[in-house]
């Protein structure tokens, strides 16, 4: 007998939490905790402030990127709802499957009162794909700029970047090609409604073929966000008294973003392992590298909690409105 959805969700959460706990436990068993705390206590808060400002700018850019696709697809949605579900999506990313968990929240939120459901899904899907494109472009650009600095590690890092690029190009090729896409959708022949919905998604995505300028603009915004995200990591490292060349951050940070997409709690554990491995290649202490990643996650938590506040406040106001409309009128109150 199959598991019900609630049980599946609980087991999924436990498995992701377990993976994060195991990886973090292993990591902290390998680092000099006392030395790490000493560095954290002496951190320069001025550089931390710069990093916080950069994180704020990143979220403005990512929100703008989604708006570009929404407008390009003539999707009817108020700016208030777009901002609301973007922020709630940040909150969801803290405990749902990393990155894509927030995407599901954005899709659900805008679909609730929309008759353009496939366009909502298409806007979020294209938004996510433009983010992956930026990760690849920035990482490859930085790699060819600074590969001489990597020495023997250059080829080891190029292989995963090339693999990710190949998979992404293949996915986009299928998504925009009707014959390939319809061929892949044959696996849903037994589920005609699902197949019809997937084909509708394809037709909405294809609308972007006539709006290439908007697509290029969205990728450019993504690249800008990815670049300044690497700068945020650089400022955090400077706050921890690390003098690592900024080019390494442009190469390594996109790879940690990909690592963080593995199922875990907010990418915890997976991202830290990747950070320790990558920055260890350029001489950064494992404890400092782990702290660098955890401080980055702390900034994500802060902005995610803003989304949590938005969620709670809008949920409460919605319930108040519901009860005020449906409350029975007692005698003498009319």
* Three-state helix/strand/coil letters over 228-251: HHHHHHHHHHHHCCCCCCHHHHHH
> In sequence order, what are the residues at sequence separation of 6 or more whose Cβ sits closer than 8 angstroms to the Cβ of residue 18?
none
Q: What is the per-residue pLDDT for 44?
A: 87
Looking at residue 114, the DSSP 8-state letter turns out to be: -
- Contact between 71 and 123 under an 8 Å Cβ cutoff? The reply is no
> How many other CB atoms are there within 10 angstroms of residue 33's CB atom?
11
Distance CA 132, CA 91 (A): 21
Cα R_g (the chain), whole angstroms: 22
Q: What is the per-residue pLDDT for 49?
A: 92
Averaged pLDDT in 10-residue chunks for the chain of 334 residues: 61 62 58 63 86 94 95 90 93 73 88 87 90 86 75 70 79 81 81 80 76 90 94 93 90 80 62 84 86 86 88 64 48 43
Distance CA 331, CA 333 (A): 5
Domain contains 126: yes
Q: What is the pTM of this model?
A: 0.79
Q: What is the per-residue pLDDT for 317?
A: 52
Domain contains 16: no
Q: Is 47 exposed, middle or buried (0-12, 13-18, 19+ CB in 10 A)?
A: middle
- Contact between 216 and 68 under an 8 Å Cβ cutoff? The reply is no
- Contact between 237 and 44 under an 8 Å Cβ cutoff? The reply is no
With H, G, I as helix, E, B as strand and everything else as coil, classify residue 106.
helix
Of residues 55, 118, 56, 120, the one with CA closest to residue 82? 120
> How many other CB atoms are there within 10 angstroms of residue 112's CB atom?
11
Q: Tokens 């014959």, residue?
A: 179
For 275, the domain range is 25-309
Distance CA 196, CA 333 (A): 52
Q: What is the per-residue pLDDT for 332?
A: 44
> In sequence order, what are the residues at sequence separation of 6 or more whose Cβ sits closer than 8 angstroms to the Cβ of residue 122?
69, 73, 201, 204, 205, 207
> In sequence order, what are the residues at sequence separation of 6 or more whose Cβ sits closer than 8 angstroms to the Cβ of residue 320?
none
200-to-185, 205, 253, 319 alpha-carbon distances in Å: 11, 9, 35, 34
Q: Is 4 exposed, middle or buried (0-12, 13-18, 19+ CB in 10 A)?
A: exposed
Domain contains 4: no
| Counted domains in the chain | 1
Q: What is the per-residue pLDDT for 330?
A: 46
Distance CA 263, CA 98 (A): 6
Distance CA 92, CA 106 (A): 10
Number of H helices, E strands in the chain: 13, 0
Domain contains 302: yes
Domain contains 334: no
């Amino acid at each position: 007998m199959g598991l019900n959805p609630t049980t599946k969700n609980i087991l999924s959460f436990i498995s992701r939490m377990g993976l994060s706990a195991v990886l973090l436990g292993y990591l902290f068993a390998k680092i000099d905790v006392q030395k790490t705390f000493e560095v954290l206590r002496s951190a320069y808060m001025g550089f931390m402030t710069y990093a916080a400002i950069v994180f704020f700018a990143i979220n403005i850019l990512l929100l703008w990127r989604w708006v570009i696709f929404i407008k390009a697809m003539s999707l009817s949605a108020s700016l208030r709802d777009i901002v609301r579900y973007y922020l709630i999506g940040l909150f969801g990313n803290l405990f749902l499957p990393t990155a894509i968990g927030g995407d599901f929240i954005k899709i659900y939120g805008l679909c609730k009162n929309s008759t353009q459901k496939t366009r909502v899904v298409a806007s979020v899907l294209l938004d996510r794909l433009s983010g992956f494109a930026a990760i690849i472009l920035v990482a490859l650009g930085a790699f060819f700029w600074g590969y001489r600095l990597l020495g023997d590690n250059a080829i080891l890092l190029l292989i995963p970047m090339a693999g990710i690029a190949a998979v992404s190009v293949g996915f986009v090729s299928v998504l925009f090609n009707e014959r390939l896409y319809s061929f892949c959708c044959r696996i849903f022949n037994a589920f005609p409604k699902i197949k019809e919905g997937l084909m509708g998604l394809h037709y909405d995505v294809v609308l972007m073929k006539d709006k290439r300028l908007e697509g290029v603009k969205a990728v450019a915004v993504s690249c800008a966000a990815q670049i300044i995200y690497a700068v945020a990591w650089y400022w955090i490292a400077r706050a921890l008294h690390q003098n690592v060349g900024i080019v390494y951050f442009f190469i390594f940070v996109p790879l940690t973003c990909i690592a963080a997409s593995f199922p875990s709690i907010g990418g915890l554990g997976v991202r830290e392992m990747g950070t320790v491995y990558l920055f260890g290649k350029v001489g950064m202490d494992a404890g400092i590298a782990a702290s660098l990643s955890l401080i980055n996650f702390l900034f994500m938590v802060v902005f995610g909690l803003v989304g949590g506040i938005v969620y709670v406040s809008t949920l409460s106001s919605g319930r108040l409105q519901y009860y005020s409309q449906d409350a029975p009128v007692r005698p003498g109150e009319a």
